[in-house]
Amino acid sequence: MRSKTPVKRITVQVRNTSALPRRAEATERLLRNLRSIFAEIFGDENFITLLQAESRTTIPEYLRTTLEEAKNRHDIA
């Protein structure tokens, strides 16, 4: 008797492949929301002051660009 494992693997692979566009769209939405949230947080002068008071002198590079954009939009020091 033959095993049905290869057929199952192909079926799973086809399902995963067909789901990729939906997953990519969902991921893109989540990333846009997160970017918006971080832009709002880093645009808040009180938050920036808090970071300075806590001696947070470095932030991850991926957040640095968001901070720079917020500074440019809101003229934050």
**Could you read off the pLDDT of 9-32 as tens digits, one per residue?**
888 888 888 989 999 999 899 888
Using DSSP, state whether 60 is helix, strand or coil: coil
- pTM for the predicted model, two decimal places: 0.53
Query: Please, are residues 35 and 66 in contact by the beta-carbon 8 Å criterion?
Result: yes
Residue 27 CA, distance from chain mean position = 8
Residue 74: band (very low, low, confident or very high) from pLDDT cuts 50, 70, 90? low
Query: Please, are residues 76 and 48 in contact by the beta-carbon 8 Å criterion?
Result: yes
**Could you read off the pLDDT of 24-66 as tens digits, one per residue?**
999 899 888 888 888 888 788 898 888 888 887 777 787 778 7
